[in-house]
Every structure is written in structure tokens, then in C-alpha cells.
Amino acid sequence: MSAPPRARPRHLVPLVVLLTLAGLALRAFHMTAQNLWFDEIGSARIATTPIAELVRDVGAQGVETNRTRAVEPTAWLSTAYYALVKTVLRLPHDSPDALMRLTSVVLGTASIPALAWATYAFLPVEAVLATTALLTIAPFHVWYSQEVRPYALLVLLAVLAVGAYVRALATNRVGWWALVALLVTLALYTHPIALGLPAIAGLGLLATGTASPRRALPGLAALAAAGIAFLPLVTWIGRHGANHPADLRPVGWLDVPYAFFAYAVGFSLGPSTTELHAGTIAPLLPHLPLIACAAVVFGALAVRGALATGALSPVVRVVLWSWLIVPLALALVVAVRSANPFNVRYAIVSYPAFVALLGLGAAAERPFRALAMAAAALSFASLANLYFDPHYAKEDCRGLAEVLRAEASATDLVVVNAAYMAGAVSYYYRGPAEVRAYPEAAHRGSLDPVRTSADMARLEAGRR
């Protein structure tokens, strides 16, 4: 495979710069309008806890107390992310929440020019610009670019790794392979769901090595180096465990279609996440016309983009398709074989490949460019909902804390009956009333009126 023998058009860099600035504005707008939600609060606790205290608390991972949780496994699953955030928090600041959100905004914005650079190695210029524009306004990416979680960093590293990898395949230069090894290692230390990256690279090397086995040796060495560098974290996970099951929901036949729907329009168009967890399809029925519209628009662009991959070189096709499929397949396998559900974020490494397929489709004939405009309209509608519609808002622990500060006295008891949320409530409400989680972990799923009455009498002990 050889790099594209073309001169870079003069307009490419200015347009990418303009798109990056627009992407920054979309990601910074309303950045702190909503409070940190449950998972973000877990990240914030880790990021603001001194390292010595984190190390001391590792032995008590996941153990619940009345007010907080001990350090969660995400502390070691996302080492690179927390190292970055802890470094950023050394800057002078008034609010750690805002600074952590800003970190994700910057990382998400950086993914825009990164994707332009990565796809320039294997896509036509028109498709590069379309792909970059679609990422700029993508509600799914804006969502994770405002979240205090490792996913914005993971997407950025995945994009850079694939860009370096395609160039390494084209040139077989040691420098590119060294960069691939570094980026893959950083991605693995950002979150183990980055395991899709070495699998993608291995498939590309297999496609290259069938014609010239010796040519694959530097790439194999780079992957081996990344694997060796990842061994300490593998050992640590083996000793201390991975994430606790967030939800016992089993894998369903709609999980993959929903993943692509979320990739297309994010979480703020059509059914809200609350409606999706209702356990019945009744809340979804009013949204079916909008779901069908998004499916037609983005589905047609993706299918046209898939057909357009036939014009790419065979190795590039292997890389692009494996980039899309492998992370999704890994997330599904892990969900099936563990107690964790399939969540779209666990397949997020595949997301840039989906955007690249849309970009290929949008750069095709005129009817598909019209569909690209329709996709942009749906994206902006989703962003408007994300910014302004409380129907799609996260749980409001910050607002709850304001109510409690106004109404609860030191002699009152605050009982949080979604018990896992007690730590999130306590993050924003620091007293004077005591906050207790109920039901306790041992009693979940087995409550009865007699036990509940006795437990509440014991908890209240004469308090309001």
C-alpha cells in the first residue's frame, strides 16, 4: 500500500481550522449547564483524591459506605486519563468540575483535526472534509466531549493511532511504527476497551504480510512492544478486578442497531435514555417517525459510503472495516460473557470509522450530498435538545442539593432510595443532615413491607 500521491489542496487546512473552531464552540457551549452525573462524579472523586490515598483505598474497591464509595476500578482501568486530569487540576481554578469538563472539551475538539489528518492518508479530499464536518457537529461526540470520563481521550488516541498505522503500513518506517506502539499503549491505559486497536492493526498486518511476510515484521514488533507495555495493567486488573456490573440488563437484538442510532444522532433525539430503560416499547412508539427518518438518512449515507470503499486499496478496506466491526464485536462478546450490559460507549473506538463511512457517502453524488444536509439538520436538532430540553437532561443532584440546603436541618435524615446514588447526592450536598443509602446492598431485590418498616424505624431513630 502506498500513500496518496497527491499534493495537499490549499483550501484543506483553512477549512479544517474553521471546522475545529466551530467544534470547539459546540463543545464548550453549555459545558457546565448540567451537573456531573453519577459516573462523572466517580471520575471526579478519583481525580481529586491524592494519589497516596487512592493507593491506600485500592484494597477496599467498590465497597459501599453510607455516604461514598471506595475507589472504583475505573481508577486503574483509565490510568492515562487520570494522570492527565490530575496534571490539569494543578492549574489555578475555582471549580474542579468546570476544569475537568474543559479538559474533555479540549480533547474532543482535538479529535476534529486529528480525524482530518488520519483520514487524509486513505480517503479522497472531499470525503476527508465531509468526515471532518460530520464529526464537528456530531451530537454523540459532543456528548462525550463534555463528559468527565476517559472516552474523549480514547477517541482522540484511537484516531491518531489509526492515522499513524496507515502511514506505517504505507512506508514501513520505524518512526511511524514506534508512534503506533506509543499511541496504542496510551489508548490501552486510557481504557482496556482499546483492545480493538491491536486487533485492527493485526488484521491489517495480516493483509499486508500475505504478499510480503518480512514487511510485516516491524508492525509485529510494534504490537509486541505495546503488549509488553500493557502487561502491568493486565496483572493489576487480574489482582484487583475490572468494573462492577453497572446494570444486569442482558444483551438484546436491538443493541447493535441502537449503537448506530446513537452514533448518528447521540442521546438527545428521539427516546431519552430514561425511556429506553423503561422495560417496554410503549415510550418509544411516539418517536418511531423520527427514528425512521434518522435511520433512512444516516443509513443511506452509510450504505453509500460502504459501497465507496470498493475504490480504496484492499489493505485500506481491511483497516477501515475492521476499525468499524472489531470494537463492536469485542464489546458484544464482553457483554455476553460477563454481567455487564452492552453500552454504546464500550464500542466507542469504532465510532470514528462510522463517521468516515458517512463522510464517504456524503462526498458521493448530489443526492447523497442532500442527505448529508438532512443529517446535519438532525444533528443540530439533537444538539438543541442536548443544550435546552430538560427531557434529555441528566439527573439533577446539584439541584437536589440546593433543595436540601434550604429545607433540611442537622437533625434530619436524608434517605436516598436509589442507594447507589447516595455518593452522588453527597458530592453536591455536604450536610448538615446525614445522607443514608437505602436499601442496603444485601437487601436489594428482596424488600418486603415488614422489613422496610423495621429498617426505616431503625434508620430514623426519632429523626425527620
pLDDT, position 445? 61
* Cα(79)–Cα(341) distance, integer angstroms: 23
Peptide bond into 213 cis (omega under 30): no
* Cα(398)–Cα(428) distance, integer angstroms: 6
Q: Hey, how many other C-beta atoms are within 10 angstroms of the C-beta on 108?
A: 28
Report residue 451's pLDDT band, with 50, 70 and 90 as the boundaries: confident
Q: Label residues 311-333 b or e (16+ Cβ within 10 Å = b).
A: ebbebbebbbbbbbbbbbbbbbe
Report residue 2's pLDDT band, with 50, 70 and 90 as the boundaries: very low
Report residue 3's pLDDT band, with 50, 70 and 90 as the boundaries: very low
Percent of the chain with pLDDT over 70: 92
pLDDT, position 274? 86
**What pairs with residue 436 in β-bridges?**
415
* Cα(462)–Cα(464) distance, integer angstroms: 7
Spatial neighbors of 444 by CB under 8 A, at least 6 apart, are 419
Task: Tally helices (H) and strands (E) across the chain.
Answer: 21, 2
Tell me the per-residue pLDDT of 70-123, one tens digit each, with 9 for 90 and over. Answer: 567 777 889 999 999 999 999 998 889 999 999 999 999 999 999 999 999 999
Query: Measuring CA to CA, how many Å separate 47 from each of 78, 84, 149, 206, 393?
Result: 11, 9, 10, 40, 24
pLDDT, position 7? 65
Spatial neighbors of 72 by CB under 8 A, at least 6 apart, are 42, 46, 61, 62, 243, 244
pLDDT, position 4? 47
Tell me the per-residue pLDDT of 329-387, one tens digit each, with 9 for 90 and over. Answer: 999 998 888 767 889 999 999 999 999 999 999 998 888 989 999 999 999 999 999 99
Quote the radius of gyration of the chain (alpha carbons, Å): 24
Q: 71: which 3 cell numbers?
A: 475507589
pLDDT, position 438? 87
SS3 of 234, please? helix
Q: Per-residue pLDDT averaged across 173-182, rounded?
A: 96
Question: Cβ(148)–Cβ(36) under 8 Å?
Answer: yes
Tell me the per-residue pLDDT of 22-34, one tens digit each, with 9 for 90 and over. Answer: 999 999 999 999 9
- Using the structure block, give the residue that is written with the C-alpha cell 443509602: 437
Spatial neighbors of 120 by CB under 8 A, at least 6 apart, are 4, 8, 12, 128
pLDDT, position 243? 65
Tell me the per-residue pLDDT of 270-313, one tens digit each, with 9 for 90 and over. Answer: 999 888 877 788 888 999 999 999 999 999 999 999 999 999 99
Peptide bond into 449 cis (omega under 30): no
pLDDT, position 413? 92
- pTM comes to 0.92
pLDDT, position 444? 59
- Using the structure block, give the residue that is written with the C-alpha cell 462524579: 41
The DSSP code for 71 is P
Peptide bond into 439 cis (omega under 30): yes
3-state secondary structure 98-152: HHHHHHHHHHHHHHHHHHHHHHHCCCCHHHHHHHHHHHHCCHHHHHHCCCCCCHH
